[in-house]
Amino acid sequence: MVGPPSGAHQGWAMRASFSKDRSVTEHRLAPGTVRRILGFARPYRRQLVAFVALVLADATVGAAVPLVYRSIIDDGITHGRTGYVAAMAGVLAVLAVLAITISLTQRWFSARIGEGLIYDLRTQVFDHVQRMPIGFFSRAQTGALVTRLNGDVQGAQQAFTSVLSNVVGNLAVVAMTLGAMFFLSWQLTLLALCLLPLFLLPARWVGQRLADLTRVRYQLNGEMGQMMTERFNVSGALVVKLFGRPEDESANFGDRAAKVRDTGVTQAMYGVFFMSSLGLLAALATALVYGLGGVFTIRGDLAIGTLVALAAYLNRLYGPLTALSNVQVDVMTTLVSFERVLEVLDLEPTILDAEAPTPIASGPVSVELDDVTFRYPTAAEVSLASLEGVAVLDSTSSGDVLRGVDLRVEPGATLALVGPSGAGKSTIAGLVSRLYDPTGGAVRLGGVDLRDTTLAAVRDTVGVVSQDVHLFHESLASNLRYAKPDATDEELEAALREAQVWEVVEQLPEGLDTVVGDRGHRLSGGEKQRIAIARLLLKDPGVVVLDEATAHLDAASEEKVQAALHRVLVGRTSVVIAHRLSTIRDADEIAVIDGGRVVERGTHEDLVARDGLYAHLNRTQFGRSEQSNGRSPVVADEPITDTPTLFVGGVEPVA
Ligand SMILES: Nc1ncnc2c1ncn2[C@@H]1O[C@H](COP(=O)(O)OP(=O)(O)OP(=O)(O)O)[C@@H](O)[C@H]1O
Ligand SMILES: [Mg+2]
């Protein structure tokens, strides 16, 4: 945000505008952008009118001051009218106070408008992005999205405040100053203006250089930051410790930092050159005015007060004139920022509530995949090129991940999905919770096609424990209450007990109030899974989808997860992506997925007897588990024991 267009701020505002890319002036705006931007201004139209009025008032007061100087000298001092001089000095004081008051009020309005607009844009963008399908988040670079939106929202805001005050304010100042100067002495004014091109042309050149340098510096700073974040996060630091040569890293970093230093020096010199030449120009023009004007005054062609006033006006003229020479860049920059924000708001959320939604029955309902074909959306379908820093988005499709999948789970029954890594198991889980819509066929809950109901209904019906559990950087209690905001502490405890994780929580430094998540207290993989199960129990959905972690758990942890899972499955329809034998054996049906198709279906015994992929997976997995933990191999016809057996995860694709 840039303050009122008066005095000392001019130079700064001008230099700030150079930091923007001149290439934006060649950008073509989408049709209707300006009209839409005006739509955003609509709620602020009263404030905007007041703001513009104040900007004009500011320029008028500023332009009046030199006239008062003239009057003090010509009408007061030269005629020896003490009273008049004192009165006019009083007028000067009043004008000074008035100028301050105006710029304070003006600033208040511009802050109100600017911050209000930022608020409007931010909340709209947040709401909108939140409604985007998961595919958007897996394609868009979240970092770029966040920085871009932060930056662009602020840039858009400047369209109203800084551009308005710069353009309107500077135009007003230049017009009034020039008018007053021509009125005082058109000859001197024309002469003083002759100096202007001498300055404006080099100023544009320096401006271009400064813009280039600034871009280079942003780039270099970005690289430096990137290097630091990469090296200084835990995993990066670990690689450097284990493999890296710290001297090389330091030298590499030193090189980049040195480039930043060098461009910094050049940039500072250009900046100071620019500012001093502006000063020099004003000084030269003043010399000219005093020199020529002085001669005119001696000849009696010009009053002495007029001369002083002309010199005072000159000082007010050059700043605004140079700022106006860059105004095109300023205006375009803000318009482009606005356009980028609008672009995000224009992205269609593809997964939406049905117009006339059918409710889903409560309780354990059936889950059905009817001839489902699915491919993941391409970047071009879900994201924006400008968000990913590329000109054209990748539109090559990954191909069908699921092909003709038919599955049905009766109410209250359990279906286990097994298969090699990358077979499409997690994809099926995503379709059941409507993270994606199938490209062909239908997914139904209780007989209702998910596209014919609301997202809220699907959320209420289906609970998911995903393959990698995410906890927010918040207290454990608030992480759990994400599933049930009004849950009491007792309910939380009961759920945690059921999920076999209460003992762990009890041991935490602050119990339920311990901050967990990536930067909080670290829980082990197994503990996190059980917390997620507790969260699911609080939600109490009719259908559960469990994507068991493939991470190897130790026997004790495994046993607890198993017991917790057991609690979850009772009285619910469930789809379990299973890596553990006990889960699979308890299932009513097992579907073996390979290459996006259901290749085998049946119970454990059926499938072992069939001697297909399942039997193969079964053999290879147990062969490995025998080696890794020294347990006896489980054979198919062995009676199910209470001891949970490790069905080792990370199933490898079968050759
Ligand atoms: N967001 C995505 N965009 C594009 N392709 C994806 C995406 N997620 C997964 N895939 C692809 O879809 C296929 C199936 O992935 P999926 O995650 O369903 O496998 P999985 O059976 O769950 O494997 P695992 O046992 O390793 O978890 C894989 O080939 C994968 O590369
Ligand atoms: Mg998976």
Q: How big is the chain, counted in residues?
A: 655
572-602 CB burial, b ≥16 within 10 A, e <16: bbbbbbbbbbbbbbbbebbbbbbebbbebbb
Distance 140 CA to ligand 1 centre (A): 17
pLDDT: which is higher, 504 or 373 = 373
Contact criterion met (CB below 8 Å) for 187 and 289 = no
Is the pLDDT reported for residue 495 higher than 50?
Answer: yes
Q: What span, in angstroms and rounded, lies between the C-alpha atoms of 141 and 600?
A: 38
Q: Ligand 1: which residues within 6 Å by Cβ?
A: 138, 376, 398, 401, 419, 421-427, 467
Q: What span, in angstroms and rounded, lies between the C-alpha atoms of 362 and 3?
A: 59
Cα radius of gyration rounded to whole Å, the chain: 36
Q: What span, in angstroms and rounded, lies between the C-alpha atoms of 474 and 137?
A: 22
Q: Structure tokens of 552? A: 């190897």
User: Sign of the CA dihedral 130, 135, 138, 140?
Assistant: negative
Least confident interval from 119-133, 146-160, 387-401, 595-609: 387-401
Distance 580 CA to ligand 2 centre (A): 14
Q: Structure tokens of 256? A: 């980049």
CA angle 326, 331, 336 (to 5 degrees): 130
Position 609 scores a pLDDT of 87
Q: Structure tokens of 506? A: 């009890």
Position 385 scores a pLDDT of 66
Question: What value does the mean pLDDT take over residues 80-85?
Answer: 91
Question: What value does the mean pLDDT take over residues 488-508?
Answer: 88
Label residue 646 by pLDDT band (50, 70, 90): very low
Residue of the CA atom closest to atom 28 of ligand 1: 422
Query: DSSP label at 132?
Result: S
Q: Structure tokens of 572? A: 């619910």
pLDDT: which is higher, 179 or 243 = 179
* Domains recognised in the chain with CATH numbers: 9-346 (1.20.1560.10), 409-435+455-629 (3.40.50.300)
Position 550 scores a pLDDT of 56
Distance 589 CA to ligand 1 centre (A): 23
pLDDT: which is higher, 253 or 145 = 253
Name 367's bridge partners: 409, 445
Ligand 1: residue of 398, 433, 654 to mutate (most ligand atoms within 8 A of CB) is 398
Which atom number of ligand 1 is nearest to the Cα of residue 428? 18
Least confident interval from 343-357, 517-531, 534-548: 517-531
Label residue 438 by pLDDT band (50, 70, 90): very high
Question: What value does the mean pLDDT take over residues 354-358?
Answer: 89
Q: What is the mean pLDDT of the chain?
A: 80
- Tell me how crowded residue 342 is: count the other CB atoms within 10 A of its CB: 19
Residue 426's contacts (CB-CB under 8 Å, 6 or more residues apart) are 466, 467, 547, 577
Least confident interval from 172-176, 199-203, 642-646: 642-646
Q: Which residue has the tokens 């062969």?
A: 623
Question: What value does the mean pLDDT take over residues 121-144?
Answer: 80
pLDDT tens, position by position, 363-396:
899 999 999 999 988 877 777 766 655 556 666 6
Side-chain half-sphere exposure of 259, counting CA atoms within 13 A: 16
pLDDT tens, position by position, 2-56:
333 333 333 343 344 444 444 555 566 677 777 888 888 888 889 989 988 998 8
Ligand 1: residue of 425, 545, 647 to mutate (most ligand atoms within 8 A of CB) is 425
